[in-house]
Structure 1
Amino acid sequence: MDWLNRMKGSGGLSRYEQEYKSKLVKAEDAVKAVKSGDWVAYSHFAMTPQALDQALAGRKDELTGVKIRGVCSINPVQVALADPEQKHFIYNSGFFSGHDRKLQDQGLSFHIPGLYAESPVNIREGYASTPDVAMIVTTPMDDSGFFNFGLSNSYEKALCEKAKTVIVEINRKTPRSLGGAQEAVHISEVDYIVEGNNEPFVEIPGHPPAGTDKKIASLIVEEIEDGACLQLGIGGMPNTIGKMLAESDLKDLGVHSEMLCAAFVDLYEAGKITGARKSIDRFKMVFTFAMGNARLYEFIHNNPACAIYPVDYTNSPAVISRNDKQIAINNAIEIDLYGQVCSESVGTRQISGTGGQFDFTYGAFRSRGGKAFICLSSTRKVKDITVSRIVPTITPGGIVTLPRTVTPYIVTEYGKVNLKGKSTWQRAEMLISIAHPDFREDLIKQAEKMKIWTKSNKIS
């Protein structure tokens, strides 16, 4: 026990405990590090700071021109709500949540476009605005002086490296996610420590799958083989697919996914996920952030079956492609007859972001035996009107998430088509074949006007 005694200082505290005590402050005092004109970076998703956000909002009248950078906050963002005239704070998000969309509708949030995989290099190389202050939610400090990033490791380490001031907000309910890599920050790199309110993490509710979802899911599941490596995106569809896979005869599935969702727990407990056939990170469920329910968060905590990495690893197409039979499954809002995919906006209204859709679509195609799927129901409701999600051209103002050169399998409840290597007239025919029957005739007429329809085209 000599090593333990050497670590103790005055009063029986270890040197890390002494340093912790010297850096521990109230949230109201920690946010005094922020000055007018600063860029402030928040940690991401479920790990968005609450105590620090509230305290910073409370300093509104003392500050001007403070820019906040977040990602997909699943809690209301107080700095934006406190300043509807944006005289003091400007809130920016790399991927919109429901809260971010509501703020956007009031003119109070702005999107930061980008490929998710490139976020760490954008921060480290100064392409993105360098953070003056980083506010990161973590676990309590461990015996070695580390604060674990918990449910989000996107580019938190890069933020800590570049920020002039690093503040950690401790939430004692944070699951400890094992690395992986870069999953923690050491107390020597931290300037201030705030003990937060220990609020439970928001749970993402599950919804019973609709008949359309089940049909689309079944068309994808039949393409998945034993030993496949899975990426499931955000939304109800990936969870529906996960449940179907859990009830299938498949075995030795692996996980390499930006997001770890509740469906993966079902698959693991059903014995479908072993990771035994993965080419890299064998036996590990690799992810960079997690959102779901309490059961998922309990599953992740100190679980050696899971490995959290920064996003420039999980979402690197070069890394993704190293796993054989990599499967990427993501959603879309609409797709046009050229094969351009819009997955993040309805016209000019930002809904989400590019996220990792491009990264995984590109990477899975380069995986030996890999496949990438873009899922969408054939129609959607706009007020009381039913409209087609397969359209002649992307809605004006809409964002092209996947260019037509990258677009892979497209799946609706009416079938699946693979656009890779196909001519414009072939793409039009294939896409119209999986559109809702009520819209096919008009889509053919539009394709003719667009000069992407030949006399040999047919719709079965």
Structure 2
Amino acid sequence: MDFEREYQQKLSTAEQAAKVIKCGDWVDYGWAVTTPEKIDTALAKRVGELHDVKLRGGVLNKIPAAIEADPTGEHISWHSWHCSGVERKLIEDGRGFYVPMRYSELPRYYHKVDCKPNVAIMQVAPMDKHGYFNLGPSASHLHTCAEVADVIIVEVNHNIPRCLGGSGADLHISMVDMIVEGDNPALFEPPLPKSSEIDLKVAQYIVNEIKSGSCLQLGIGAMPSAVGSAIAQSDLKDLGVHTEIYVDSFVEIAEAGKITGKYKNLNKFRQTYAFAMGSKKLYDFLDNNPGCLSASVDYTNDIANIAAQDNFVSINSAVDIDLFGQVNSESSGKRHISGAGGQLDFVMGAYLSKGGKSFICCSSTVKDKNGEVRSRFLPTLKEGSIVTATRANIHYLVTEYGIVNLKGLSTWAKCEKIISVAHPDFRDELIRGAEELKIWRRSNKLK
């Protein structure tokens, strides 16, 4: 088969690609750093001609031009599988909506739920000699999306790293309807998180619980980043990686010689991930790296696959936690923040792993927009708060005041442990709240 000839036959302009989109269409818009750019600009010029077009994607680093061109949201709306700060603003403005889900289920949505897109558009790496476009650092669910879409359009970007993987990491030209050669923008690089003294203290508690040969999952943010740095500086060795998002912390740990993957039960010697976002150093590290494996999220986040890795360590953060042990990682009361992502999958999978440990970590307090310090620990979650990990699933809880194992405890014992790692200034208030909830006994002593 002459793939170059087929390439030329399918080669289109961004304007031709944008004209495919019709009123009422669902349009999947790539994922994270592979959200389309040139076609998006062309679609922005058509906004006035369209109505009820629904763009869908997630982890945006900027407002798409097509959404920006419709400030009232009368013609085009945004629908997010997982929200960044950009998407949070769109939701607050009434121009965007979140789709609640466990991230591991997303590929199944395209086959089992009415989520079939009319058009799927995504940035990809250039076609190789075998006719494959690599999905770069965004394998996630994009291959499955392309399997069911009516029209598939790829936007080629020479700056996208070729991320080696298994099933779901590449898209063959035979599946593609239109090819647009993009302007080759550099991939988005989020600011590297700056760790505070609290982050570093929490990180040390966690690192003390990790043993050599463990398999790691890290979330995004200052606290998981602090954990990564602490691991890189530790005496740990022969670590493995099986994670949802691949972040700069893993590069730091790998360059410190801590990652071999020799004790992994699945994908031995390879670092497995669903998508990646970080610095240019991270993208360069992933490019054509046979030590890393890009895979579909229904593989990386599958609870059975997580549990199959011995000594699995899952590290995630929280917004609020109540005295029953309910973890909110998605909202501030009624105000939407992010999404469920894979937190529950990794919390459950790590606990089921032989020797596995799941950590929920956070600072004990936070400053609100008025500068007032408030406790992250509440008698009950605020009205409108979303329960991301249930009280039955939480394993280890970590703050700057210590680390506690909450598994197998009664309501009062769990409550006591939670209060023991809350900020001392708020403990009496929490005890009063616990008494009202009838999960506190006067004989209890905080240790």
Q: Could you state the TM-score of these two structures normalised by the residue count of structure 1?
A: 0.95
Q: What is the Cα deviation at residue 57 of structure 1?
A: 1.9
Matched, 1:296 2:288: no
Kept after mapping to 2: 8 A contact 1:94/1:113: yes
RMSD: 1.0
1:168 alignment partner in structure 2: 154
Match of 2:20 among 33, 38, 45: 33
Kept after mapping to 2: 8 A contact 1:336/1:394: yes
2:269 alignment partner in structure 1: 283
Kept after mapping to 1: 8 A contact 2:217/2:242: yes
Match of 1:83 among 52, 70, 73: 70
Instruction: Name the SS for the 2:40 alignment partner.
Output: helix
Matches within 5 A, 1:58-137: 58-125=45-112, 127-137=113-123
Q: What is the Cα deviation at residue 379 of structure 1?
A: 0.3
Q: 2:291 is matched by which residue type in structure 1?
A: A
Task: Note the alpha carbon deviations across 1:73-105, whole angstroms, 9 max, x for none.
Answer: 113222222212222111111111121122222
Kept after mapping to 2: 8 A contact 1:48/1:75: no
Kept after mapping to 1: 8 A contact 2:7/2:173: yes
Instruction: Name the SS for the 1:263 alignment partner.
Output: helix
1:237, 1:152 → 2: CA distance?
Answer: 23
2:420 alignment partner in structure 1: 433
More deviation, 419-428/141-150: 419-428
Instruction: Name the SS for the 2:168 alignment partner.
Output: coil
Q: What is the Cα deviation at residue 442 of structure 1?
A: 0.5
Match of 1:215 among 190, 201, 212: 201
1:45 alignment partner in structure 2: 32
1:169, 1:137 → 2: CA distance?
Answer: 5
Kept after mapping to 2: 8 A contact 1:48/1:74: no
1:4 alignment partner in structure 2: none
Q: What is the Cα deviation at residue 40 of structure 1?
A: 0.3
How many corresponding residue pairs? Answer: 446
Kept after mapping to 2: 8 A contact 1:228/1:252: yes
Kept after mapping to 2: 8 A contact 1:151/1:290: yes
1:169, 1:130 → 2: CA distance?
Answer: 20
Q: What is the Cα deviation at residue 128 of structure 1?
A: 4.3
Instruction: Name the SS for the 1:147 alignment partner.
Output: strand
2:209, 2:300 → 1: CA distance?
Answer: 23
1:204, 1:84 → 2: CA distance?
Answer: 25
Matched, 1:381 2:371: no
Q: What percentage of aligned pairs have identical amino acids?
A: 48
Instruction: Name the SS for the 2:147 alignment partner.
Output: helix
More deviation, 161-170/419-428: 419-428
Matched, 1:195 2:181: yes
Matched, 1:346 2:332: yes
2:165 alignment partner in structure 1: 179
2:69, 2:334 → 1: CA distance?
Answer: 25
Task: Note the alpha carbon deviations across 1:385-438, whole angstroms, 9 max, x for none.
Answer: 000001111111111101111111110000111111111111111111100000
Q: What is the Cα deviation at residue 384 of structure 1?
A: 1.4
1:266, 1:53 → 2: CA distance?
Answer: 34
Task: Note the alpha carbon deviations across 1:249-269, whole angstroms, 9 max, x for none.
Answer: 111000000111111111111
User: Could you say if the C-alpha distance between residues 115 and 389 of structure 1 is closer, same or farther in structure 2, counting changes exceeding 3 Å?
Assistant: same
2:398 alignment partner in structure 1: 411
Q: Which runs of 4+ in 1 moved over 3 A?
A: none
Task: Note the alpha carbon deviations across 1:352-402, whole angstroms, 9 max, x for none.
Answer: 111010111110101000000001100000121000001111111111101
Match of 1:243 among 229, 233, 251: 229
Kept after mapping to 2: 8 A contact 1:80/1:103: no
Matches within 5 A, 1:325-364: 325-364=311-350
Task: Note the alpha carbon deviations across 1:146-166, whole angstroms, 9 max, x for none.
Answer: 100001111101110000000
2:408, 2:45 → 1: CA distance?
Answer: 56
Q: What is the Cα deviation at residue 38 of structure 1?
A: 0.7
Instruction: Name the SS for the 1:219 alignment partner.
Output: helix
Q: 1:91 is matched by which residue type in structure 2?
A: W
2:392, 2:45 → 1: CA distance?
Answer: 48
Kept after mapping to 1: 8 A contact 2:193/2:225: no
1:18 alignment partner in structure 2: 5
Q: 1:48 is matched by which residue type in structure 2?
A: T
Gaps of 5+ in 1: 1-6, 8-14
2:95, 2:350 → 1: CA distance?
Answer: 36
Q: 1:79 is matched by which residue type in structure 2?
A: A
User: Could you say if the C-alpha distance between residues 175 and 281 of structure 1 is closer, same or farther in structure 2, counting changes exceeding 3 Å?
Assistant: same
Matches within 5 A, 1:238-277: 238-277=224-263
More deviation, 34-43/203-212: 203-212
Kept after mapping to 1: 8 A contact 2:193/2:221: no
Instruction: Name the SS for the 1:33 alignment partner.
Output: coil
Task: Note the alpha carbon deviations across 1:143-185, whole angstroms, 9 max, x for none.
Answer: 1111000011111011100000000011110000001221111
Q: 2:18 is matched by which residue type in structure 1?
A: V
Q: What is the Cα deviation at residue 19 of structure 1?
A: 0.9
Instruction: Name the SS for the 2:120 alignment partner.
Output: strand
